Amino acid sequence: MAFGWIDEQADARRRAGLVRTLRPRPADSPLLDLASNDYLGLARHPEVTEGAARAARTWGGGATGSRLVTGTTELHTELERELAEFCGFEAALVFSSGYAANLAAVTALAPHGSLIVSDAGNHASLIDGCRLARATTQVVAHADPEAVRKALGTHEGAAVLVSDTVFSVDGDAAPLARFAEVCRERGAGVVVDDAHGLGVLGTGGRGAAHAAGLAGADDVVVTATLSKSLGSQGGAVLGPARVIEHLVNAARTFIFDTGLAPAAAGAALAALRLLRHEPERAERARAVAADLHARLTTAGLEAVRPDAAVVSVRAPSPEAAVRWAADCRAAGLAVGCFRPPSVPDGISRLRLTARADLSGAQIERAVRVIGETRP
Mean pLDDT of all residues in 128-157: 97
- Can you give the pLDDT at residue 214? 98
How many CB atoms within 10 Å of residue 159?
23
The 10s digit of each residue's pLDDT in 210-268 is 999 999 999 999 999 999 999 999 999 999 999 999 999 999 999 999 999 999 999 99
Residue 118 CA to its chain's centroid (Å): 16
Query: Are residues 186 and 100 part of one domain?
Result: yes
Q: Do 153 and 240 share a domain, yes or no? A: yes
| Amino acid 117: pLDDT | 98
Confidence (pLDDT) at 241: 98
**pLDDT at residue 108 in the model:** 98
Rounded distance, CA 243 to CA 91, Å? 9
Question: Identity (one letter) of the amino acid at 9?
Answer: Q
- Residue 368, domain member (yes or no): yes
Under a CB-based contact definition with an 8 Å cutoff, are residues 286 and 309 in contact?
yes
Label residue 17 by pLDDT band (50, 70, 90). Answer: confident
Q: Are residues 255 and 247 in contact, defined by beta-carbon separation less than 8 angstroms?
A: no
The DSSP letter of residue 170 is T
The predicted structure's pLDDT at residue 23: 86
Q: Residues 190-217: pLDDT tens digits?
A: 999 999 999 999 999 999 999 999 999 9
Decide if 48 contacts 226 (C-beta within 8 A): no
Q: 156: Cβ–Cβ under 8 A, 6 or more apart, which residues? A: none
Q: Does 11 map to a domain?
A: no
Which amino acid is residue 295, in one-letter code? R
Q: What does the pLDDT read at residue 244?
A: 98
CA atoms of 77 and 71, how far apart (whole Å): 11
- In-domain check, residue 15: no
User: C-alpha distances in angstroms, 266 versus 38, 223, 237, 262, 349?
Assistant: 17, 19, 18, 6, 35
Q: Give the distance, in angstroms, between the CA of residue 370 and the centroid of all CA atoms in the same chain.
A: 25
The enclosing domain of 314 has a CATH number of 3.90.1150.10
The reported pLDDT for the residue numbered 14 is 87
12 inside domain: no
Q: Which domain holds residue 101?
A: 46-277
Exposure of 190 by Cβ count < 10 A (0-12 exposed, 13-18 middle, 19+ buried)? Answer: buried
Which pairing describes strands 310-314 and 349-353: parallel, antiparallel, or unpaired?
Answer: antiparallel
Q: Please indicate whether residue 348 or residue 183 has the higher confidence score (pLDDT).
A: 183
248 three-state secondary structure:
helix
- The answer to whether residue 342 scores a pLDDT higher than 90 is no
In angstroms, the CA 69 to CA 259 distance is 9
- 172 and 189 in a single domain? The answer is yes
Please, is 283 exposed, middle or buried when counting C-beta atoms within 10 Å of its C-beta (0-12, 13-18, 19+)? middle
Residue 354 falls inside a structural domain: yes
Classify 58 as helix, strand or coil.
Answer: helix
pLDDT at 52 over 80: yes
Rounded Cα gap, residues 250 and 108, in angstroms: 6
Whether residues 90 and 104 fall in one domain? yes
Q: Is residue 88 part of a domain?
A: yes
Asked if residue 322 is part of any domain, the answer here is yes
Query: Same structural domain for residues 79 and 62?
Result: yes
pTM of the model: 0.94
Give the number of domains in the chain.
2
Cβ neighbors of 298 (< 8 A, separation 6 or more) are none
* Domain end among 257, 277, 297: 277
**In sequence order, what E strands does 99-158 have?**
115-119, 136-140
Domain boundary at 277, 310, 337, which?
277
Are 171 and 252 contained in the same domain? yes
Please state the rounded mean pLDDT for residues 325-345: 89
Clarify whether residues 33 and 170 are in a common domain.
no
Do 35 and 54 sit in the same domain of this protein? no
- Examine the fold and report which residue of 224, 250, 277 is the final residue of a domain before the chain moves on: 277
Beta-sheet strands, E only, within the chain: 32-34, 91-95, 115-119, 136-140, 159-164, 189-193, 220-225, 235-239, 303-304, 310-314, 333-338, 349-353
9 has a pLDDT exceeding 90: yes
**Are 70 and 130 in the same domain?**
yes
Residue 291 and residue 245 share a domain: no
Q: Measured between alpha carbons, how far is 21 from 100 in angstroms, rounded to an integer?
A: 24
> 80 and 157: one domain?
yes
Q: Same domain, yes or no, for 167 and 96?
A: yes
pLDDT of residue 13: 86
77 in helix, strand or coil? helix
The neighbouring-strand residues paired with 311 are 352
What's the CATH number where 131 sits?
3.40.640.10
Nearest CA-CA partner of 72 in 323, 254, 277, 300: 254
Q: Per the domain annotation, does 77 fall within a domain?
A: yes
Confidence class for position 343, pLDDT limits 50, 70, 90: confident
What tens digit of pLDDT does each residue of 261-309 get?
Answer: 999 999 999 999 999 999 999 999 999 999 999 999 999 999 999 999 9
Note the pLDDT tens digit of each residue in 55-104. 999 999 999 999 999 999 999 999 999 999 999 999 999 999 999 999 99
Report pLDDT for 83. Answer: 98
Distance, in Å, from the CA atom of 324 to the CA atom of 255, rounded to the nearest integer, reads 43
